[in-house]
Structure 1
């Protein structure tokens, strides 16, 4: 049985306040994840209390800075350094800041928007007119006439 996970879209400027509220309510930090998007990054902060997950999510552009939550959850410094080193997202005021040396990789920021080739979105399917049977010439690559 899987339980639903709440995903709360947040503004970056509200992150630290919301994290402080979760801490005060007894939530534990589970993980901070980052995904590369076509024009930036999506960050997801996951918390747990009583086996129920709450996720805070927001997107940032490549040149935006993100506030650290390591003053509230000290263990967050590892996630934040990892996101900085692998994605190139600038995290401000990390309690223990490795300044880009947590990971040694052949390519600096290997998961950054500059280094990740995202897949092309799927092409739309050909719509047939209602009631019209499909023929060999319908669809991509087909010939008509």
Structure 2
């Protein structure tokens, strides 16, 4: 093994990350789409009772870039599924697991993509109770 352990990068640290405002996420995603970047996925974590942190992960030629959006749970976050169609799956999953909403989803499962209608608690959110959209 030729790698020196002391030179290894720390685990758990994301490089190439930039914080953007919720209102900027669509424009930032569109810039990346036009430049040939691929959406890898989104990561979501609950910061406190009122705030979520979503990290958008993008790849181009084996290089990763990340955009962080921190926003209040009570406010719908703009969806990027109109730009990256595949985002509809992970955005619906985040709605199910964290009880939040995305505005402008191309296909909105009403928080039932992964959860049954009867489920009232959001599984990955210790501060929030799910509210289902009646269709």
Q: Is the 8 A contact 1:37 1:113 kept in 2?
A: no
1:19 matched to 2:29: yes
Of structures 1 and 2, the larger Rg is shown by 1
CA distance in structure 1 between the partners assigned to 2:126 and 2:28 by the alignment: 28
The 4+ residue runs of structure 1 with deviation greater than 4 A are none
Q: Is the 8 A contact 2:98 2:128 kept in 1?
A: no
CA distance in structure 2 between the partners assigned to 1:99 and 1:9 by the alignment: 28
Structure 2: which 5+ runs fail to align?
1-7, 130-135
Q: What's 1:7 paired with?
A: 17
Using structure 2 for the length normalisation, give the TM-score. 0.78
3-state SS of paired residue (1:13): helix
CA distance in structure 2 between the partners assigned to 1:70 and 1:115 by the alignment: 24
Q: CA deviation at 1:113?
A: 4.7
1:109 matched to 2:119: no
CA deviation vs aligned residue, 1:11-39 (integer Å, no higher than 9, x gap): 11010001000000000000111001113
How many aligned residue pairs are there? 115
Q: CA deviation at 1:115?
A: 4.8
